[in-house]
Structure formats: structure tokens, C-alpha cells
Amino acid sequence: MPNVMQQLFIMNIESLLKEYAAYRAFNKSDSVINMRIPHQILERIKQLADQQHVPYQSLISSVLFSLANIEEQK
């Protein structure tokens, strides 16, 4: 059985974004986080977001949303 991170990588980015957009339609973001990550990772995330024509922060939020709800997706 794949672990949580493997499951996220298996998921299509487009489906992650759609799922997150549906959630956001009814729920407002009310928390702010500040985190440090290696520059190379952030650049890769920005590339992936550009490929999907979405802001990179939305991509990060969609992955975090899916990670937080991974048990519901089984």
C-alpha cells in the first residue's frame, strides 16, 4: 500500500486543484502560515503551477488540503 506522500504524487495536479476549488467555494481561508523550504523545491512548485496556469500558493494549498483529507479519499 502506498504511503500518504506516494498517494499525493499519484494524484493528478488538475484533480487536486478541482477538489480544492470546490472546497474553497464554501470555505474561506482564515489562517496564514510562514514557512521556509529549499529554493529548488519552491522553483519546482512554481514550474508545476505555471504548467497548470494557477498561482503557486493555490497549488501548495491544494496539496495541503488533500494531505489533510487523505483518509476521506480512501
Tens place of pLDDT per residue across the chain (74 aa): 556 666 666 667 788 888 888 888 788 888 899 999 999 999 998 988 888 888 999 889 988 888 888 766 55
Q: Tell me the pTM.
A: 0.71
* Extents of the domains making up the chain: 4-73
Q: What is the dihedral of CA 16, 48, 60, 74, to 10 degrees?
A: 30
Q: Do 63 and 48 form a contact (C-beta atoms < 8 A)?
A: no
